[in-house]
């Protein structure tokens, strides 16, 4: 969901407050509270096959419902982000479900019988925006407009062997930031990139995660001001000028930009570009060949009245990126968080639910809808309801959907 702070970030007042940098991790004594009685679940849904275009009450195509867990069962609040974790010792799969008031941990190894292992409350106040990433068996959790929330760090191996509904606290909290919109982690290098914080003018606040419970601030990259989201990778794409460098693809509200962050002391923006009919440049993900960047604009559908449109940027030359085309779908919903697995693009499209697009050669628009699971049966309009995010990277092939209104969905291809 968008957040309008670019103008604020440009103000001298905030810049004065922001500075660049920040440091400090508080190592807390993690607590594990004896679980209260498990919640009485009266309205989980599923499993349900997709029959005549409906799974339970949810429109579907080629996908089945393994289980839906209502928000109340996970401690409530509205839903927001979701990420996943696989226990390297035993292969157990987990959903890390963000909610306004905290994060729920759900073991989904048996997807028709998921186990709510427990939850960790927000570090400060309830927040519409929470974001979660995982590195080295630790979860890193930020929240937006949440005062001095910082980055909660949670050792996920503590979930091992826990059966249900335990109250956890963070192992440590990085307090070099307060609120932040998002956190990205390049798992290949062990660096985290906080974006949308007051620090670093809302740009990249870079952290070295070599010690997982004690992140070390290593630099800012704020030349473009506020970034709403980013994906950072070790570059292996077609532009041989930059092979092996650490490259961040950034969505900056009003543009897309490419940055070389290899040298944390001197990151450099290589290029930036916009596209027709932009409303709010929200989030992006690169294809496996690192040639084309999928970009979600969060306000074009609502404010410009276009049908669900996903932007494709040609980034084959990192020094000179350009708009390639927009892919238009049949709904009016807003495309939100999206991720690539092979030749498929998994999109959480708010009121249209999860849409899975397949593609071939991206030099032309070959995107077509392969399957879908609609968590908002009411309509497909451009409201901020329904599917916030999705996690399509579990080895089992089960796909997680975090729904603002209806909780955690575990779905699968039929």
Stretch touching Ca ion by CB under 5 A, among 14-22, 102-110, 192-200, 301-309: 301-309
Measured from the CB atom, the residue of 22 and 46 that comes closer to Ca ion is 46
Q: Decide if residue 332 touches Ca ion (CB under 5 A).
A: no
Sole binder of Ca ion in the list 92, 260, 335, 385 (CB under 5 A): 335
Sole binder of Ca ion in the list 93, 260, 297, 403 (CB under 5 A): 297
Q: Round to whole Å and give the CA distance between 242 and 283.
A: 23
Per-residue interface string for the shown chain with Ca ion, residues 167-206, x marking contact by CB under 5 A: ----------------------------------------
Sole binder of Ca ion in the list 241, 288, 303, 414 (CB under 5 A): 241
**Min dist. Cβ of residue 232 to Ca ion (A):** 18
Q: Decide if residue 303 touches Ca ion (CB under 5 A).
A: no
Measured from the CB atom, the residue of 84 and 353 that comes closer to Ca ion is 353
Per-residue interface string for the shown chain with Ca ion, residues 353-382, x marking contact by CB under 5 A: ---------------------x-x---x--
Give CA separation, 342 vs 171, 307, 359, 365, 386, in Å.
35, 25, 9, 16, 25
Nearest partner of 373 among 44, 58, 47, 95, judged by Cα: 58
Is residue 52 classed exposed, middle or buried when 0-12, 13-18 and 19+ CB atoms within 10 A define those classes?
A: exposed
Contacts of 76 (CB under 8 A, 6+ apart): 99, 101
Q: Estimate to the nearest angstrom the gap between the alpha carbon of 167 and the chain centroid.
A: 24
Measured from the CB atom, the residue of 209 and 324 that comes closer to Ca ion is 324
Backbone angles phi, psi at 32, to 5 degrees: -130, 115
**Min dist. Cβ of residue 403 to Ca ion (A):** 11
Stretch touching Ca ion by CB under 5 A, among 21-29, 94-102, 222-230, 345-353: 345-353
Nearest partner of 307 among 255, 369, 366, judged by Cα: 369
Contacts of 269 (CB under 8 A, 6+ apart): 221, 223, 224, 257, 258, 259
Q: Decide if residue 319 touches Ca ion (CB under 5 A).
A: yes
Query: Which residues are at the interface with Ca ion (CB under 5 A)?
Result: 239, 241, 297, 300, 309, 317, 319, 335, 351, 374, 376, 380
């Amino acid at each position: 969901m968008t957040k309008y702070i670019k103008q604020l970030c440009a103000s001298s007042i905030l810049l004065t407050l922001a500075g660049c940098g920040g440091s400090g991790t508080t190592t807390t004594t993690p607590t594990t509270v004896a679980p209260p009685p498990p919640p009485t679940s009266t309205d989980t849904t599923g499993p349900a096959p997709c029959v005549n275009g409906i799974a339970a009450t949810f429109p579907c195509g080629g996908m089945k419902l393994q289980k839906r867990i209502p928000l109340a069962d996970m401690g409530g609040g509205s839903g927001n982000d979701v990420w996943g974790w696989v226990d390297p010792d035993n292969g157990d799969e987990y959903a890390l479900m963000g909610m306004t008031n905290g994060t729920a941990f759900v073991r989904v190894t048996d997807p028709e019988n998921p186990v709510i292992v427990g939850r960790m409350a927000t570090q400060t106040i309830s927040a519409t925006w929470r974001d979660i990433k995982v590195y080295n068996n630790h979860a890193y959790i930020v929240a937006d407009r949440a005062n001095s929330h910082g980055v909660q760090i949670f050792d996920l191996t503590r979930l091992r062997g826990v059966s249900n509904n335990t109250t956890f606290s963070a192992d440590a909290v990085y307090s070099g930031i307060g609120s932040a919109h998002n956190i990205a982690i390049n798992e290949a290098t062990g660096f985290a990139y906080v974006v949308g914080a007051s620090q670093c003018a809302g740009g990249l606040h870079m952290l070295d995660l070599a010690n997982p419970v004690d992140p070390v601030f290593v630099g800012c990259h704020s030349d473009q001001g506020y970034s709403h989201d980013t994906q950072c990778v070790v570059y292996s794409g077609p532009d041989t000028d930059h092979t092996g460098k650490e490259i961040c693809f950034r969505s900056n509200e009003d543009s897309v930009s490419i940055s070389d962050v290899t040298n944390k002391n001197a990151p450099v923006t290589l290029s930036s570009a916009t596209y027709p009919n932009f409303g709010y440049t929200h989030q992006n993900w690169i294809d496996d060949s690192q040639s084309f960047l999928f970009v979600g604009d969060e306000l074009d559908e609502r404010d410009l009245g276009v049908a669900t449109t996903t932007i494709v940027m040609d980034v084959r030359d990192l020094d000179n990126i350009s708009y390639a085309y927009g892919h238009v779908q049949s709904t009016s919903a807003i495309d939100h968080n999206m991720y690539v697995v092979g030749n498929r693009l998994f999109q959480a499209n708010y009121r249209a639910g999860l849409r899975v697009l397949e593609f071939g050669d991206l030099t032309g628009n070959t995107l077509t809808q392969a399957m879908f699971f609609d968590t908002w049966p009411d309509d497909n309009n451009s409201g901020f309801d329904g599917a916030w995010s999705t996690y399509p990277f579990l080895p089992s092939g089960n796909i997680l959907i975090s729904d603002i209104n209806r909780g955690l969905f575990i779905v699968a291809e039929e």
